[in-house]
């Protein structure tokens, strides 16, 4: 087995592929420093070990986590997700966010929410929500307000169709150089899209054929490389024009 | 309670509405038209009688096995067959381990009925001794991934597995001529089953208030549809079985229309199955043929020994070519050895070994080999290659014997590289 160069700083591993067992950080010569570990990392004695395969990410000043593409979503506070109402309780809505447990959406977590005006959601309503709390062993808590207590863009999504994707695809759809297929389609067609980091995206347009085209194009683009995506997009746009 | 909720398919109101409204303009969520079938892929396992069918996202594995059993008393001349289904919880979280659920039983019954009622499998040919021994065929269907329309996928998997299954040949023999002998597959070629025709299941779903008909529904459409109909037909257009599930009533004219469409689809699927099975059979028969070049028979001994020594016996390529390769490499190695025989002090393997002793042993070997080697090659350089090959291989056997006695030398370290180069040259 080849041992990776174990250095005291994990900078050599940042944005690199890591696999379970990799030691990214030796704590023995690090003192007076606080580290925050995210998913996929574990402290093992005096070292920080990787627990799952993926890319190691770092955020200043001291946050480390491993990012990978998977079907199951691991809730974490601050994420914007698409949830489906599964059940209504007097205090909470039970919402499925593709996580290991159903999430709670308190009935008062809406802008100007009081006991008087509790929204009525039937089972199967699609919501764009924010994860407020996510602790292990507890059901995650959701909210339909931003940090300032405003409704912002959160709330019910009407019409349209919700497509499933992997968490990796969702992340690329939201990343800052925009997803080439999404960008290209956006220039030609008019549609609405809402992407949840939990591996769901919702598309709406005036014509159902547009919704289907956009949804399938995005789903298909996941397995393509950048060059292939461009070719695929060109082909797609040609077929749209010829219609 | 919560566990239940997490396991069932969660469909939003939006999705239900969208599937219905999109169908009104003749499109489906995966981009198909109402009467488009998903792409069908048929693969085979390593053994006879196994199949892997992929229909869109749905994946089913079929496996057929045979066993000698006593026949049913009322049908002493007929073999038996049975269909068993296995729904893995990995395929769909709503499948629970343990007892087969409603859908599992329904699936097994539909496949079973299609094959049994139409007499697609010739059960009489499965009889070995009337009333005593018949072959009973067991069809196992494993659902690997549920992407909707499991019935069609499972039915195709069963047909493919049945058409590649082979049972061992049985004869009566022994001292009194009454003993049953089951010939192992390497003694006598196993026999395929006799299939009279392929009953192919084609499923339709009826969605929405207007009962819009779709073929090959996905699992989202299955969650929405009010009813479904599975028609089992063969290429001749004979309807072997029909299963109508769900509450929604369907007009007679719609059923007739479905049957017409199903006949066309059944034809397509049957030709796909036949093509796949045919290519499997040719591949299978090609595997049986063993190729020998008669003029290299004499040197095969040396080659065999060498193969053992080099432990490349796992390479299944033809013996003849491999022998040639070794011959070449050996010749090259010999020249190399005569070059490196003198300064053997940098030999990586000689660490910790008496250098002088090794040097003398190496030197003696090289000289003896050189004389052996040079003699035949130089004596008849213009003679046919086969002869020189033979004589050189004779020299080879000597060398191999020597090598076995010797511990590892530089030669062993150099060998793999040359071998690789030769292989790349050959290919």
Chain A residue with CA closest to B14: the answer is A159
Q: Compute CA distances A72 → A97, A99, A132, A165, whole Å.
A: 9, 6, 19, 10
Indicate whether B265 pLDDT > 50: yes
Chain-centroid distance of CA B133 in Å reads 30
Q: State the SS3 of B113-168.
A: HHHHHCCCECCHHHEEECCCEEEEEEEEEEEEECCCCHHHHHHHHHHHHHHHCEEC
Provide the pLDDT for residue B387: 45
Lowest mean pLDDT among A190-199, B102-111, B240-249: B240-249
In chain B, residues with a C-beta closer than 8 Å to the C-beta of A216 are 30-31
Are A160 and B29 an interchain contact pair (Cβ–Cβ within 8 Å)?
Answer: no
Region A154-180: mean pLDDT is 90
Domain check: are B205 and B85 in the same one? yes
Cis amide bond preceding A26, omega within 30: no
Region B310-320: mean pLDDT is 44
> Is B168 a member of any domain?
yes
CATH number at residue A227: 3.30.1370.10
Over residues B4-45, the pLDDT tens digits come to 555 677 788 999 999 999 998 889 998 899 899 999 999 998
Output DSSP code: residue B207.
E
Indicate whether B420 pLDDT > 80: no
Are A208 and B14 an interchain contact pair (Cβ–Cβ within 8 Å)?
Answer: no
> Is A152 a member of any domain?
yes
Over residues A100-116, the pLDDT tens digits come to 889 999 999 888 888 88
In chain B, residues with a C-beta closer than 8 Å to the C-beta of A213 are 31
> Is B381 a member of any domain?
yes
Provide the pLDDT for residue B404: 46
Domain check: are A96 and A167 in the same one? no
Domain check: are A44 and A107 in the same one? no
Domain check: are B172 and B304 in the same one? no
> Is B219 a member of any domain?
yes
In chain A, residues with a C-beta closer than 8 Å to the C-beta of B10 are 84, 86, 96, 124
> How many angstroms away from the CA of B40 is the closest CA of chain A?
18
Domain check: are B306 and B279 in the same one? no
Are A208 and B27 an interchain contact pair (Cβ–Cβ within 8 Å)?
Answer: yes
Provide the pLDDT for residue B314: 45
> Is A5 a member of any domain?
no
In chain A, residues with a C-beta closer than 8 Å to the C-beta of B15 are 161-162
> Is B153 a member of any domain?
yes
Domain check: are A166 and A224 in the same one? yes
Domain check: are A135 and A174 in the same one? no
Provide the pLDDT for residue B65: 93
> Is B79 a member of any domain?
yes
Which structure tokens are listed for B93?
């979280």
d(CA B343, CA B366): 13
Domain check: are B306 and B283 in the same one? no
Q: What average pLDDT does the structure give for chain B?
A: 76
Strands A47-50 and A41-44: antiparallel
Domain check: are A181 and A195 in the same one? yes
> How many angstroms away from the CA of A208 is the closest CA of chain B?
6
Region A117-128: mean pLDDT is 91
Chain B residue with CA closest to A208: the answer is B22
Please tell me the total count of domains within chain B: 2
Give the percent of chain B with pLDDT over 90: 34
> Is A72 a member of any domain?
no
Domain check: are B380 and B260 in the same one? no
Q: Which residues contact A31 (CB under 8 A, 6 or more apart)?
A: none
Provide the pLDDT for residue B294: 58
Indicate whether B340 pLDDT > 70: no
Please tell me the total count of domains within chain A: 3
Query: A192: closest CA among A219, A224, A222, A153?
Result: A153
Residue B316 pLDDT class (50, 70, 90 cuts): very low
> How many angstroms away from the CA of B7 is the closest CA of chain A?
11
Q: Is B11 in the A-facing interface, judged by CB distances under 8 Å?
A: yes
Number of H helices, E strands in chain A: 4, 16
In chain B, residues with a C-beta closer than 8 Å to the C-beta of A161 are 14-15, 18, 29
Q: Is B90 in the A-facing interface, judged by CB distances under 8 Å?
A: no
Mutate to test the interface with B, among A86, A163, A212, A240 (most CBs of B within 10 A): A212
Residue A11 pLDDT class (50, 70, 90 cuts): low
Domain check: are A24 and A53 in the same one? yes
Indicate whether B317 pLDDT > 90: no
Indicate whether B329 pLDDT > 50: no
Indicate whether A25 pLDDT > 90: no
Domain with B367, as residue range(s), is 299-426
Domain check: are A84 and A22 in the same one? no
Are B10 and A209 an interchain contact pair (Cβ–Cβ within 8 Å)?
Answer: no
> How many angstroms away from the CA of B352 is the closest CA of chain A?
26
Q: For the purposes of burial, counting CB atoms within 10 Å of the CB of A214, is it exposed (0-12), middle (13-18) or buried (19 or more)? A: buried
Q: Is B84 in the A-facing interface, judged by CB distances under 8 Å?
A: no
d(CA B418, CA B397): 20
In chain B, residues with a C-beta closer than 8 Å to the C-beta of A212 are 22, 27-31
Are A212 and B13 an interchain contact pair (Cβ–Cβ within 8 Å)?
Answer: no
Provide the pLDDT for residue A203: 94
Mutate to test the interface with A, among B12, B21, B32 (most CBs of A within 10 A): B12
Domain with A33, as residue range(s), is 10-67
CB pairs below 8 Å between A and B: how many? Answer: 62
Query: B343: closest CA among B330, B355, B354, B351?
Result: B355
- Rounded to two decimals, the ipTM of the complex is 0.84
Give the percent of chain A with pLDDT over 90: 41
> Is A224 a member of any domain?
yes
Are B18 and A124 an interchain contact pair (Cβ–Cβ within 8 Å)?
Answer: no
Residue B215 pLDDT class (50, 70, 90 cuts): very high
Of B228, B263, B288, the residue that ends a domain is: B288
Region B256-265: mean pLDDT is 92
d(CA B230, CA B245): 8
Are A162 and B12 an interchain contact pair (Cβ–Cβ within 8 Å)?
Answer: yes
In chain B the first and final C-alpha atoms are separated, in Å, by: 63
Q: Which residues contact A155 (CB under 8 A, 6 or more apart)?
A: A110, A127, A128, A144
Q: Is B2 in the A-facing interface, judged by CB distances under 8 Å?
A: yes
> How many angstroms away from the CA of A207 is the closest CA of chain B?
9
Residue A46 pLDDT class (50, 70, 90 cuts): confident
CATH number at residue B108: 3.30.230.70
Q: Is B10 in the A-facing interface, judged by CB distances under 8 Å?
A: yes
> How many angstroms away from the CA of B17 is the closest CA of chain A?
8
Chain A residue with CA closest to B27: the answer is A209
Over residues A201-240, the pLDDT tens digits come to 999 999 999 999 999 999 999 888 889 999 999 999 888 8
Q: Is B13 in the A-facing interface, judged by CB distances under 8 Å?
A: yes
> How many angstroms away from the CA of B316 is the closest CA of chain A?
30
Over residues B137-147, the pLDDT tens digits come to 999 999 999 99
Of A156, A191, A220, the residue that ends a domain is: A156
Residues of A with CB under 8 A from a CB of B: 84, 86-87, 94, 96, 101-102, 122, 124-126, 157-162, 202, 207-209, 211-213, 215-216
Over residues B391-412, the pLDDT tens digits come to 444 444 444 444 444 555 555 5
Q: Is B22 in the A-facing interface, judged by CB distances under 8 Å?
A: yes
In chain A, residues with a C-beta closer than 8 Å to the C-beta of B6 are 96, 101-102
In chain A, residues with a C-beta closer than 8 Å to the C-beta of B2 are 94, 101-102
d(CA A163, CA B425): 51
Query: B135: closest CA among B124, B150, B120?
Result: B124
Domain check: are B40 and B122 in the same one? yes
Over residues B124-138, the pLDDT tens digits come to 889 888 888 899 999
Q: State the SS3 of A188-203.
A: HCCCEEEEECCCEEEE
> Is A1 a member of any domain?
no
- Please, are residues B138 and B190 in contact by the beta-carbon 8 Å criterion? no
> Is B293 a member of any domain?
no
d(CA B93, CA A126): 21
> How many angstroms away from the CA of B28 is the closest CA of chain A?
8
Mutate to test the interface with B, among A73, A75, A83, A84 (most CBs of B within 10 A): A84
Region A137-162: mean pLDDT is 90
Q: What average pLDDT does the structure give for chain A?
A: 87
Rg of the Cα atoms in chain B: 33
Of B288, B312, B341, the residue that ends a domain is: B288
Over residues B96-123, the pLDDT tens digits come to 887 888 889 999 999 999 999 889 999 8
> Is A3 a member of any domain?
no
Output DSSP code: residue A129.
E
Residue B381 pLDDT class (50, 70, 90 cuts): very low
Indicate whether B319 pLDDT > 50: no
Over residues B268-289, the pLDDT tens digits come to 999 999 999 999 999 988 887 7
In chain B, residues with a C-beta closer than 8 Å to the C-beta of A208 are 18, 21-22, 25, 27
- Please, are residues A128 and A155 in contact by the beta-carbon 8 Å criterion? yes
Of B258, B288, B318, the residue that ends a domain is: B288
- Please, are residues B403 and B330 in contact by the beta-carbon 8 Å criterion? no
Per-residue exposure over B386-417, b if at least 16 CB sit within 10 Å of its own CB, e if not: eebbebbbebbeebbeebeeeeebbbbebbee
Domain check: are A95 and A52 in the same one? no
> Is A4 a member of any domain?
no
Are A212 and B22 an interchain contact pair (Cβ–Cβ within 8 Å)?
Answer: yes
Q: Is B25 in the A-facing interface, judged by CB distances under 8 Å?
A: yes
Over residues B198-210, the pLDDT tens digits come to 999 999 999 988 8
Nearest to B29 among A101, A124, A161 (CB): A161
Provide the pLDDT for residue B338: 44
Provide the pLDDT for residue B354: 53
Classified as helix, coil or strand, B231 is strand
DSSP bridge partners of B212: B207
Are B2 and A102 an interchain contact pair (Cβ–Cβ within 8 Å)?
Answer: yes
> Is B294 a member of any domain?
no
Comparison of pLDDT for B313 and B347, the residue scoring more: B347
In chain A, residues with a C-beta closer than 8 Å to the C-beta of B212 are none
Alpha helix positions (H), B183-299: 219-224, 252-288
DSSP bridge partners of B124: none
Strands B133-145 and B58-69: antiparallel
Give the number of residues written for chain B: 427
- Using the structure block, give the residue that is written with the tokens 């779709």: B214
């Amino acid at each position: 087995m080849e041992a990776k160069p174990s250095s005291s700083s994990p900078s050599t591993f940042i944005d690199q592929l890591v696999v379970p067992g990799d030691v990214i950080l030796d704590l023995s010569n690090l003192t007076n420093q606080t580290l925050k570990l995210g998913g996929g990392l574990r402290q093992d004695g005096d070292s920080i070990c990787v627990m799952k395969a993926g890319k190691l990410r770092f955020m200043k000043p001291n946050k480390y986590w491993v990012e990978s593409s998977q079907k199951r979503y691991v809730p974490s506070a601050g994420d914007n997700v698409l949830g489906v109402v599964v059940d209504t309780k007097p205090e909470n809505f039970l919402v499925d966010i593709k996580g290991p447990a159903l999430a709670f959406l308190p009935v008062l977590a809406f802008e100007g929410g009081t006991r008087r005006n509790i929204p009525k959601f039937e089972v199967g309503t699609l919501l764009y929500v924010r994860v407020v709390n996510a602790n292990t062993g507890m059901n995650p808590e959701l909210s339909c307000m931003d940090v300032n207590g405003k409704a912002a863009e959160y709330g019910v999504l009407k019409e349209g169709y919700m497509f499933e994707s992997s968490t990796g695809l969702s992340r690329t759809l939201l990343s800052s150089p925009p997803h080439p297929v999404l960008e290209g389609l956006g220039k030609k067609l008019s549609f609405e899209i809402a992407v949840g980091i939990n591996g769901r995206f919702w598309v709406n347009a005036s014509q159902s054929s547009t919704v289907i085209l956009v949804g399938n194009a995005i789903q298909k683009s996941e397995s393509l490389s950048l060059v292939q995506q461009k070719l695929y997009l060109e082909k797609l746009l040609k077929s749209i024009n010829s219609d | 309670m919560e566990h239940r909720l997490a396991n069932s398919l969660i469909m939003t109101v939006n999705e239900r509405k969208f599937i219905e409204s999109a169908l009104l303009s003749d499109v489906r969520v995966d981009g198909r038209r109402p009467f488009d079938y998903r792409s069908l892929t048929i693969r085979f396992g390593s053994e006879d009688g196994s199949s892997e069918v992929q229909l869109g996202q749905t994946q089913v594995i079929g496996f057929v096995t045979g066993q000698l059993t006593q026949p049913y008393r009322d049908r002493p001349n007929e073999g038996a067959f049975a269909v068993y289904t296995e729904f893995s919880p990995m395929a769909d979280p709503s499948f629970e381990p343990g007892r087969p659920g409603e859908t599992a039983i329904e699936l097994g019954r539909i496949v079973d009925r299609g094959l049994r009622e139409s007499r697609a499998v010739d059960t009489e040919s499965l009889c070995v001794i009337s009333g005593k021994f018949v072959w009973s065929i067991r069809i196992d269907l494993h659902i690997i991934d549920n992407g909707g329309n499991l019935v069609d996928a499972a039915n195709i998997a069963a047909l493919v597995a049945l058409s590649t299954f082979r049972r061992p040949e049985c004869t009566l023999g022994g001292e009194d001529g009454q003993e049953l002998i089951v010939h192992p597959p390497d003694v006598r070629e196993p026999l395929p089953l006799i299939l009279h025709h392929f009953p192919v299941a084609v499923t339709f779903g009826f969605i929405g208030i207007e009962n819009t008909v779709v073929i090959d529904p996905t699992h989202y459409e299955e969650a929405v549809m009010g009813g479904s109909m599975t028609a089992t037909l063969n290429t001749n257009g004979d309807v072997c079985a029909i299963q109508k599930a769900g509450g929604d009533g369907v007009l007679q004219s719609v059923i007739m229309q479905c049957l017409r469409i199903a006949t066309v689809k059944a034809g397509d699927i049957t030709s796909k199955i036949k093509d796949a099975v045919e290519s499997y059979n040719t591949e299978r028969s090609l595997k049986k043929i063993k190729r020998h070049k008669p003029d290299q028979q004499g040197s095969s001994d040396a080659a065999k020994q060498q193969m053992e020594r080099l432990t490349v016996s796992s390479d299944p390529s033809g013996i003849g070519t491999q022998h040639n390769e070794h011959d070449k490499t050996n010749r090259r190695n010999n020249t190399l050895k005569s070059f490196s025989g003198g300064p053997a002090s940098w030999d990586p393997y000689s660490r910790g070994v008496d250098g002088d002793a090794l040097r003398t042993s190496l030197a003696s070997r090289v000289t003896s080999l050189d004389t052996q080697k040079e003699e035949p090659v130089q004596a008849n350089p213009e003679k046919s290659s086969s002869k020189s090959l033979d004589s050189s291989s004779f020299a080879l056997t000597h060398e191999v014997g020597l090598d076995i006695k010797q511990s590892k030398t530089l030669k062993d370290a150099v060998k793999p590289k040359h071998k690789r180069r030769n292989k790349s040259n050959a290919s």
